[in-house]
Amino acid sequence: MRICVIGAGAIGGLLAAKLADAGEDVSVIARGPHLAAINANGLKLIEGDKEIVAKVKASDRIADVGTQDLVILGMKAHQVAAVVRDLPALYGPETSVLTAQNGIPWWYFFKHGGAHEGVRLESVDPGGVIADNLPIERVLASVVYPAAEIERPGVIKHIEGYRFSLAEVDGKPTERLEIIAAAFTRAGFKAPIVADIRTELWTKLWGNATFNPISALTHATLEDICRFGLTRKLAEDVMREVKAIGEALGIRFRIPLEKRISGAEAVGPHKTSMLQDVETGRALEADALLGSVIELGRIVSVPSPHLDALYAVVKLLGKTLADHKGRLVVEPA
């Protein structure tokens, strides 16, 4: 398959390296020192004591890589709108676009079949830029479970996990899904095709919407949050609100709340992705993980005071980080 991964960061880089190593024809879209390192030395992936160097084509211009069978959007949710107008340069008649973002996706109510069919979520698709420029017929959904990080430019470190759940947006089985799942499996991933992708999205989001903002604000690991009484109680309160919103939309949470928190605690001293973004000065996923849930709560008339409070302070944190990043600091003589 000809596969282009747009956003060859931690997860995108993991996918690109392993798919290329398995023999797929992989291109990546990257920027800056990361792009320069990939072009100079290949895309390196570290998995435990094993290292592979994947030969991929790399560019910072989508138009450079030509027609693809599969496009993987590996960037974060708030970065998708910036690339969708350029995606047609990659399209052939059968090109699929796999979304690999955390949180509630922009397509949530598309091919949904419920009372809110076709409703656009302003929190994750402001102005409808994505929906207007990415045909829903091309879109495939995924839930991303692996953890990875960019160790240095051109080098991805795989921390844990191999599962990418795959689905059509309407939940139907298709030949294209089977082909893509087979490619992922050859590359060493677990790639089940699931019929109810929205329930699986909510199960993962249940933890992400809770622990990511708390960790970003406190600089605490999952273990720390769950073992400190006050933040464990806060996590419980937030998770009850997320659960209530999901249930109002017809989602069944199959794991008890306490078991979900215990599972997070068992991960140990792990820094969430949002805390890693704080530490590296990257933009925070506040809207995909929090703002979208709050917007859904408004749609189904479920209040979310704890989520609202977390969202407000995380948005301010993101603004503060951006302001400091953009400010020239002159050291005194």
> Which residues are annotated as catalytic?
204
Task: Using DSSP, state whether 149 is helix, strand or coil.
Answer: strand
Gap between the Cα atoms of 239 and 306, Å rounded: 9
Strands, E, within 48-103: which ranges? 50-54, 57-59, 70-73, 96-99
Using alpha carbons only, give the angle 245, 164, 213 rounded to the nearest 5 degrees. Answer: 45
Contacts of 81 (CB under 8 A, 6+ apart): 125, 126, 129, 130
Gap between the Cα atoms of 306 and 304, Å rounded: 6
Structure tokens at 85: 């107008």
Structure tokens at 79: 């970065």
Gap between the Cα atoms of 278 and 173, Å rounded: 39
Edge-to-edge strands, sheet with 43-47: 50-54, 43-47, 155-160, 147-152
Gap between the Cα atoms of 329 and 312, Å rounded: 27
H or E segment at 158? strand 155-160
Distance of CA 60 to the CA centre of its chain: 20
C-alpha torsion 61→35→41→157, nearest 10: -120
